[in-house]
Chains A and B, each alone.
Chain A
Amino acid sequence: MKTRRRIYLDHAATTPVDPRVVEAMAPYWNEIYGNSASLHEFGRQAARALEEARAQVAAELNCHPTEIVFTSCGTESDNLALRGIAWAARKAGRGHHIITTAIEHHAVSHTAEQLRDLFGFEVTFLPVDRYGMVDPDDVRAALRKETILISVMYANNEVGTIQPIAEIGRIAREHQIPFHTDAVQAGGTLDLDVQALNVDLLALSAHKFYGPKGVGVLYVRRGTKLVPALTGGGHERGHRPGTVNVAGIVGLATALRLTRTNREEENARLRRLRDRLIEGLLERIPDIQLTGHPTQRLPHNASFAIRGVDGEALLLGLDLEGIAASTGSACTTGDPEPSSVLQAMGLPYEWGVGGLRFTFGHQNREEDVDAVLEVLPPLVERLREMSPIGAPGGS
């Protein structure tokens, strides 16, 4: 068995924990281990660390510490935002209409669908253009007097397109409708100033920016009414019960703070790697296109549609060469359907099944780009020749 260098290019799926984050978390396993809700000094010591972390996160988001709710992950944050707003509106007898987009992560779209299918809410899924971009005018046109929430993701996980959040936020503000953004993919590279973004709710997940898995954040602007999605004790000011994961939260806060160091420099470096990969693949592979917006895109995201090839076969072939990438949406049952995001962008079937996503991170270097440029073109050629995908109903 050949041993070759392993190359990780799937940072949008998750990232390794920064050693400085591991170090920051270390005391909170068995030195400072009290339950942060306990009255004694063991608890208070943990609580101090928790509130210190909260203050750090608030500083990063330019908000007040009381507006930060810690959760177990980005999905939970999104669930809390959507369900919280929906049931608060139901409780107050206010309205029942939610506006979101066709390209949201399942944490948002499936939650919205469940609210619609089981709880009687109405949902508008706004279309996107061929770059996956939402038009703020469409948001405005969809508003009704029953609208209780607008939810638009900050940056798309599959194709990297960055949405006009601040502009949509202004529209939401005009009509005094709570505005939520799933910023899980944006954390780490993009600016998270919630005042500049005009958002009322913002979701983050630590493991996307070199923090630990199992911890997330929901920013909740003061005055925004939420009914808790989980019920239990009164932790997190009643927003989210459950003994607080202090170690994880310290990790999240540290990781978030670290994203600020050299962010512009690192983003520029990521863009260079990304752009060299994009240019190289577009040159070497016939019938390939970049998916997502060419300029309004995450600095580390290079996503493609490759015609007539099964994206999963590409992943398998790359994996055999030691290269880790993604088709954009993890799926355990192995469904070869083109992703709903690519479909929403209008990509025909034989392009959509060939979705491939590379996302760069701190440890990637130029050689990693070289490796992909060497391995992928012949792989595509072999698959096209021996095991192609036709239109459904074809071979």
Chain B
Amino acid sequence: MSGGVDSSVAAALLVRQGHQVIGMMLRLWSEADNGQGPANRCCTLDAQYVAQRVADILEIPFHLVNVAERFRREVVAYFIAEYAAGRTPNPCILCNQRIRFGWLLNRALALGADYLATGHYARIRHEGGTYRLLRGVDRPKDQSYALYRLDQHALAHTLFPVGSYTKARVRQMAREMGLPVAERAESQDLCFVADEDYRRFLQRQAPETIRPGPIRDLAGRVLGEHRGLPFYTVGQRKGLGLTARPGRPGEAPQPLYVVALDPAENALIVGPAEALRRRTCRATQVHWIRGQAPEAPFRAQAQIRYRAPETPVTVIPLPDGDVEVRFDEPQRGVTPGQSIVFYQDDEVLGGGIITR
């Protein structure tokens, strides 16, 4: 329970269905924690208050569980390490896998629970002897991308009560049930970053990741200086501090885009738009929801980041467990560190972390 409308309605639905429900809230880590209480968006004192109120109205017990240190060690440290390695991480993927559906799930089961439920917009189906993860019914709100690393054990013990509803319907239910939910504007920003600017966060928490270095073009020529690799992401055009490369005589000048981050040389590689267009990519640490890695190449839809549209691909499993992905249509913004998630119809097959 976060105090937000999704988890509040999820709890209410379960109570209405006659389950014995216990509300739990995770106390996470935030760099802005001070004497005034936690500052992580997910567990501010205000959020705690609202979540407790919802639990009171539903007449269910409510417990705050402190995982701040574990969160810092596993999620925040990963976040910093990935930037140091020149990649662009998505820490929510790891938080879901290790904290919410890892540690919290095991804690709930150890206390005698049968399931862990959350307010995620996703669905779980049991079919053909395995658990399947499906997109939520409300496609623009679908959160299945962030859940692709859940395993069969987690799916067997997880419920997503609001996944079959639209967000509008969920909001309506909250009103009908008289739940005092925090009507926060949804934020895609990181929960543990105080001012929601990850670059300043890194400057404060890991200044060694922010070191100026050369900007090079694809031929290796130095074009300027970058402020530190974490300030840039693949596909970025603005903020490079370069004037456009003059075109050949008679041609318009070409804008330059970040094509790659080279942490070994601490160099930012830029190039024209065509250089961004990727026909393939490779992903590692691949996780398959059904448990078995496929052996033969197969067709699927892929999302190369959280809110990217699906794009048709051929997935080629490699002997070492990685996959090579061939895009039908060239993709811009294939970013090492981000996850590529594979779908067939509405089902999440799995995914991996993009390397190069």
> Do A and B make up one complex?
yes
Q: Which residues of B contact A335 (CB under 8 A)?
A: 66
Given A385-B110, A386-B106, A386-B109; A316-B69 close (CB under 8 Å): no
Which residues A357-395 have CB closer than 8 A to chain B?
Answer: 379, 382-383, 385-387, 392-393
Q: Which residues of A contact B37 (CB under 8 A)?
A: 333
Q: Tell me if A113 counts as interface (CB < 8 A to partner B).
A: no
Q: Is the CB of B27 within 8 A of A383?
A: no
Q: Tell me if A320 counts as interface (CB < 8 A to partner B).
A: yes
Q: Is the CB of B27 within 8 A of A317?
A: no
Q: Which residues of A contact B64 (CB under 8 A)?
A: 332-334
Q: Tell me if A336 counts as interface (CB < 8 A to partner B).
A: yes
Given A1-B20, A317-B111; A334-B106 close (CB under 8 Å): no
One digit per residue, 1 when the CB lies within 8 angstroms of any chain A CB and 0 when it does not, for chain B 74-98 equals 0000000000000000000000000
Q: Is the CB of A319 within 8 A of B20?
A: no
Tell me how many residues of B have a C-beta within 8 Å of chain A.
Answer: 19
Q: Is the CB of B73 within 8 A of A387?
A: no
Q: Is the CB of B111 within 8 A of A312?
A: no
Q: Tell me if B330 counts as interface (CB < 8 A to partner A).
A: no
What is the distance, in angstroms, from B100's C-beta to the closest C-beta of chain A?
14
Q: Which residues of A contact B65 (CB under 8 A)?
A: 312, 334
Q: Tell me if B107 counts as interface (CB < 8 A to partner A).
A: yes
What is the distance, in angstroms, from A97's C-beta to the closest C-beta of chain B?
27
Q: Is the CB of A334 within 8 A of B109?
A: no
Give the bracket for the number of chain A residues in contact with chain B: 20 to 34
Q: Is the CB of A387 within 8 A of B103?
A: yes
What is the distance, in angstroms, from B207's C-beta to the closest C-beta of chain A?
23
Which residues B102-120 have CB closer than 8 A to chain A?
Answer: 103, 106-107, 109-112
**Residue ID in chain B nearest A335 by CB atoms:** B66
Which listed residue (A312, A317, A332, A393) contacts B112, Cβ 8 A?
A: A317
Which listed residue (B20, B38, B73, B106) contacts A333, Cβ 8 A?
A: B38
Q: Which residues of A contact B223 (CB under 8 A)?
A: none
Q: Which residues of B contact A333 (CB under 8 A)?
A: 27, 37-38, 64, 66
Q: Tell me if A313 counts as interface (CB < 8 A to partner B).
A: yes
Q: Tell me if B61 counts as interface (CB < 8 A to partner A).
A: yes
Q: Which residues of A contact B191 (CB under 8 A)?
A: none
Q: Tell me if B13 counts as interface (CB < 8 A to partner A).
A: no
Which listed residue (B63, B103, B109) contacts A316, Cβ 8 A?
A: B63
Q: Please measure, in the bound complex, the distance between the C-alpha atom of A319 and the C-alpha atom of B22, giving whole angstroms.
A: 11
One digit per residue, 1 when the CB lies within 8 angstroms of any chain B CB and 0 when it does not, for chain A 53-97 equals 000000000000000000000000000000000000000000000
Given A333-B27, A386-B106; A316-B111 close (CB under 8 Å): yes
Q: Which residues of B contact A317 (CB under 8 A)?
A: 110-112
Q: Please measure, in the bound complex, the distance between the C-alpha atom of A385 and the C-alpha atom of B266, giving whole angstroms.
A: 45
Q: Which residues of B contact A313 (CB under 8 A)?
A: 107, 110-111
What is the distance, in angstroms, from A285's C-beta to the closest C-beta of chain B?
15
What is the distance, in angstroms, from B52's C-beta to the closest C-beta of chain A?
10
**16 extra interchain contacts, Cβ-Cβ under 8 A, other than A317-B112, A320-B22, A333-B38?**
A1-B20, A312-B66, A313-B110, A316-B111, A320-B112, A333-B64, A334-B27, A334-B64, A336-B66, A382-B112, A383-B110, A383-B111, A385-B110, A386-B106, A386-B110, A393-B73
User: Which 4 A-B pairs give the minimum distances between C-beta atoms?
Assistant: A386-B110, A334-B64, A334-B66, A387-B110
15 examples of A-B residue contacts, CB within 8 angstroms: A1-B20, A313-B107, A313-B110, A316-B63, A333-B64, A333-B66, A334-B63, A334-B64, A334-B65, A336-B69, A379-B111, A382-B111, A383-B110, A386-B109, A386-B110
